[in-house]
Amino acid sequence: MNDNAPPTDVFVAVEEETYPAATWRLIIDDAPRSGAANMAIDQAVAEACTAGASLPTVRFYRWQPPAVSLGRHQPLAEIDLDAVAARGYEIVRRPTGGRAILHIDEFTYSVAAPDHESRMAGGVMDAYLRISNALMLGLQALGVAADKAPGTVRVSRDVSAACFETPSAYEITAGPRKLMGSAQSRRGGYVLQHGSLPLVGDITRLIDVLALDAAAAMALRQELAARACTLAQALGVAEDALVVTFAQVCAAMEQGFAQALNLQFKVSQLSPAELRQSAVLIRETFANPAWTGHK
């Protein structure tokens, strides 16, 4: 881990599970990418992993320009398109489920592997728990008293359009507040999970681009501020103070994944085939208004 990262003496026990040692690929994207590019790359990598053309992969990345991502089946009508355009944000629809996220000032991870890989075996929540344990160890290495929501937690049907309003089973929390949101897709023989760690800033900025009347927006803003937090807030510093860099988060999360899942990482880049497939997916899916606008 980076020597400049904050020290920690906070550790939370995680469930013991034994895995055979394995080598996975680690991709750290130094340059931020558009929303369509990030979603296309995640899917292209998952497809390559399933085909045996790439090792199971953990990717760390950022977004530029900031983007509002929708869950796979979330109605576009829940977003105020004029407000999005006025702020210079993009809109993209994820291949995974869940609710809207504003990707700004954040660290994003993705995990892609064949569904028969031992760490992905079982159902959605089995893999979700294992990945949450890895994320929790990474956050603890940064000094966060991170935990995860109980496995019995379920999000109600009347939850708002905002992903960070409330944690679902095994999502990462800092005290009573949600710190990381994640979503998973299991299709085509692969498992793809990605998630968001807001680093700094106003956690309620998403409310500005939701299609809500003034009273509903105010109520949801207050609720979100009480129930969710950034990494800076979890560390007890000012919301706009970047005390942990993207590189430091990457190093801590690499350590957390390696320890929790018994992995060695081969640091690498996208293959030429993955780049070609991601270009196709950008054009045909993730930058295609027909995909973004579907219900």
Residue 224 has pLDDT above 80, yes or no: yes
CATH of domain 22-289: 3.30.930.10
Return the C-alpha torsion angle 98, 99, 105, 106, nearest 10.
Answer: -10
Q: For residue 14, is pLDDT > 70?
A: no
Query: Which tokens hold the place of 173?
Result: 């929390």
Residue bearing the bigger pLDDT, 199 or 239: 199
Residue 131 has what pLDDT? 96
Whether the CB-CB separation of 91 and 35 falls below 8 Å is answered with: yes
Q: Average pLDDT in the 266-277 region?
A: 98
Q: Using an 8 Å Cβ cutoff, are 200 and 104 in contact?
A: no
Structure tokens at 47: 């497809």
pTM over 0.95: no
pLDDT value of residue 123: 87
* Residue-level pLDDT at 16: 57
pLDDT given for residue 98 in this prediction: 87
Predicted confidence at residue 240, as pLDDT, reads 66
Angstrom distance (rounded) from CA 223 to CA 112: 33
- pLDDT value of position 169: 72
CB 211 within 8 A of CB 83: no
Average confidence score pLDDT of the chain: 88
Task: Flag whether pLDDT at 36 surpasses 50.
Answer: yes
Quick check: 89 and 210 in contact, CB under 8 A?
no
How is the chain split into domains, by residue range?
Answer: 22-289
pLDDT at 206: 95
2, pLDDT greater than 80: no
Active-site hit among 49, 163, 229, 250: 163
Pick from 142-146, 254-258, 275-279: least confident: 142-146
155 pLDDT higher than 70: no
Indicate the residue type of 102.
L
pLDDT of 124 > 70? The answer is: yes
pLDDT class of 6 with cuts at 50, 70, 90: very low
With a cut of 90, say whether residue 168 has pLDDT above it: no
Residue type, position 236, single letter: G
Which amino acid appears at position 175 of this protein?
G
d(CA 236, CA 31): 28
The pLDDT value recorded for residue 170 is 80
Q: For the residues 179-189, what does the mean pLDDT come to?
A: 93
Q: Is 163 a catalytic residue?
A: yes
**CA pair distance 133, 148, nearest whole angstrom:** 8
pLDDT tens for each residue of 258-269: 999 999 999 999
Q: Once rounded to an integer, what is the mean pLDDT over residues 187-216?
A: 95
Four-residue CA torsion sign, 73, 77, 83, 86: positive
| pLDDT range class, residue 129, cuts 50, 70, 90 | very high
Q: Quick one: pLDDT at residue 13?
A: 38
SS (H, E, C) the chain: CCCCCCCCCCCCCCCCCCCCCEEEEEEECCCCECHHHHHHHHHHHHHHHHCCCCCCEEEEECECCCEEEECCCCCHHHECHHHHHHCCCEEEECCCCCCEEEECCEEEEEEEEECCCHHHCCCHHHHHHHHHHHHHHHHHHCCCCEEECCCCCCCCCCCCCEHHHCCCCCCEEECCEEEEEEEEEEECCEEEEEEEEECCCCCCHHHHHECCCHHHHHHHHHHHHHHECCHHHHCCCCCCCCCCCHHHHHHHHHHHHHHHHCEEEEECCCCHHHHHHHHHHHHHHHCCHHHHCCC
The predicted model gives 142-170 an average pLDDT of 63
Q: Which of 16-20, 113-117, 179-183, 251-255 has the lowest mean pLDDT?
A: 16-20
